[in-house]
Every structure is written in C-alpha cells, then in structure tokens.
Amino acid sequence: MFERYIGIDLGTVNVLVYMKGRGIVLQEPSVVAISRRDSKIVAIGQEAREMVGRNPESIEVAHPLKDGVIADYEVTEKMLAYFIRKLLGRFRLVKPILMVSVPRGVTSVESRAVYDAAMQAGAREAYLIPEPLAAALGAGLPIEEPTGNMVVDLGGGTTESAVVSVGDIVSWSSVRVGGNRLDEAIMAYVRRKYNLIIGQQTAEEIKIGIGSALPLEEELSMEVKGRDQVTGLPKTITITSGEVMEALEEPLSIIVDSVRQTLEKTPPELAADIIDRGMVLTGGTALLRQLDRLLIQKMGVPVYVADNPIACVAIGAGRALENLDVIRRSLPKV
C-alpha cells in the first residue's frame, strides 16, 4: 500500500516523472549548472536551463545526457537524486521502485550506468524499459495483442521507430537525430544565410514558433535577434516558415529514412496491420507542424500524433511498472 511506483523518461532535453495515481508530477530540463571552482552543483532543471548562454566563466552549464544516454554519470546521478527528493521529500520511509526509459539501441555498459544512477539516487528497485515500448504503452496502443502497432518516438537526442506486437519489439531502427539536431540546423542556416549567430534557445523558439515540415497555407514569420558574424554587433532579422522548412530538410530526411527502414524490416503480416492502423508519433518533436503529413506522403500509411506526445514515454514507463509481471520478459537485463 505504501509502494511508490515511479516512471521516469530520462531524456536528452527533459526529464519527465510519472507517479502511479497522480500522473505526470514533474517535467524539468535535463540541465545542471556546476561551479568550476569546487565542482558543486549550483542549479538543476529549469533554473539551470535559464543560465544556458548567459553563464559566467565560473559556472559550467552541462547536459549530462547526450543522445538519450548518460554522458556524465556522476552529474546524472545527482540530478536524479535531486528530482526524487523533490517529489518524495528528503526523509522518505519507503524507497521508490523506478522504471527508467533507455533508447532501444543502448549498450549493456550504458544500460548499467542508468541502472546504477537510479539505484544510487535512492531507488529500492530499478528497471529499464526501451523507449519505443514505453512510448507505445503511454500512447495507449494495444501492445499485448498479436497485431502490429507502430510508434515513432521523436525525442531531443534520438528518433526511434518500432513495431510492437505481443508485448515486445519486433522491428526497430534508431537514429541520433532529434529536436536538438533540428535546432542546430536552424542555427547553421541563419548563420549561413544572414551572417547572424544565434543560440540554441533562440533556434528552439524559431522551431516552435514558425517551424514546419511542409509548406504552410499561410506563411508565418518571426523577428530574430542575434550577433552579426561580421561586425560583432547585435542585429535583428525576419525569418519565414518557408526558410525554416528549408533549414530542417536534411535532418527530417534522415528521420524519414529511419522510419522507412523499420517498415522494410517488418514481417508482412504486421506490415499489413500498420497499413490499416497507421503509426503513432510521440515525443516533443512530434509537435512540429506538418510532420505527420510529411510521413503520410513518404510512407503511404496513416499517421497520428499521440495525445500529449511529450509525456508518452514517462506515462508508459509508469504503466509498465503497474503491469510488471506481464512486461518483465520484454525488459533488458542489467
């Protein structure tokens, strides 16, 4: 009765936490600010994210996860412990049971690092779940049935597409291209075309504000401020949704090819199910305008964006804990 079941989406850009009976209880950027003088943590989450690009030399702003896996074990452990303490209080009587998402293509060393970080952060038990499986569960797909359910999880660091049947992944592909690469593509385009240097946060604002995978009926535009590459002085330009679409063409084509690879590896019977059922998009990048239509054009199957796509992996990780006996055989061994 006192068990605390917690599902965690340990993402490159955001950490989301789902608690049984309460839903999503935490969504914070996976960013940590560290003092260079004594290596102590200055800020975690949103507070640290606000320092990105504005931090003095005495403070380093780090992203302890890269492409969905741990890049800095010690900082990740401290970040996880901070979030768990924030939720449960410093003096908790019952240690929680955690289900943490990891990319499907993760190595055994990387898996072990996530497991160890979860245990050191204060878990009584910890399990790992492949992100596409968690995303399918969180999106409400009937994964236990012997039918093909396809999910494309478009995260900050990786895009993973998978076909799930009878509670496990049948075919999948993963590419280390996600929301961050889209931001970088916008930064590079603005620098190349306008000689304007902008930060990643500005690029993300452009992507969210006017970004699109296909031409829009009514073109959008946005004022962008940055530093002129030639003069070094502040400068303002106006960029359109058509230009952003052009900037995103290359990373989006890599994502499309990855989804196509998954379909090509799918057994014929399950492929037939996907023609009828379509595929579901999850993850923050699924919210990019017209991305579903681009995939419909390229794949020839129906495409749907999940309800609350950003939260699907965390919700799915929590639901997996609630059905642990059924899903245990599909989880990676650590």
For every residue of 125-166, DSSP letters joined together read EEEEEEHHHHHHHHTT--TTSSS-EEEEEE-SS-EEEEEEET
Task: Give the structural domain span for 9.
Answer: 5-133+313-330
Q: Give yes or no: residues 86 and 157 share one domain.
A: no
Tell me the H-state helices in 197-240.
Answer: 200-210
Q: Give yes or no: residues 160 and 299 share one domain.
A: yes
Domain annotation covers residue 140: no
Minimal CA–CA distance to 289: which of 190, 206, 222, 231?
206
Boundary-marking domain end, from 193, 228, 247: 247
- Give, in order, the Cα–Cα distances in Å from 132 to each of 28, 104, 121, 316: 21, 7, 24, 9
Domain of 283: which CATH number? 3.30.420.40
Domain annotation covers residue 141: no
Q: What span, in angstroms and rounded, lies between the C-alpha atoms of 119 and 81?
A: 9
Q: Give yes or no: residues 75 and 50 share one domain.
A: yes
Identify the bridge partners of residue 225 per DSSP, sorted by sequence position: 236
Q: Give yes or no: residues 34 and 128 share one domain.
A: yes
Find where tokens 């579903």 sit: 292
Boundary-marking domain end, from 195, 217, 247: 247
How many domains is the chain built from? 3
Q: What string of pLDDT tens digits covers the 334 residues of the chain?
A: 456 889 999 899 999 999 988 899 999 999 999 998 888 889 999 999 998 888 888 999 988 988 778 888 888 888 888 888 888 776 567 788 999 999 887 888 888 888 998 898 888 999 999 999 999 999 999 999 999 999 999 999 999 999 999 989 999 999 999 999 999 999 999 999 999 999 999 999 999 999 999 999 999 999 999 999 999 999 999 999 999 999 999 999 999 999 999 999 999 999 999 999 999 999 999 999 999 999 999 999 999 999 999 999 999 999 999 888 888 888 887 7
Q: Give yes or no: residues 78 and 102 share one domain.
A: yes
pTM (two decimals) = 0.92
Q: From start to end of 37-154, where are the E strands?
A: 41-44, 59-62, 65-66, 69-70, 97-102, 125-130, 149-154
Find where tokens 């502040």 sit: 234
Domain annotation covers residue 184: yes
Q: Give yes or no: residues 240 and 207 share one domain.
A: yes
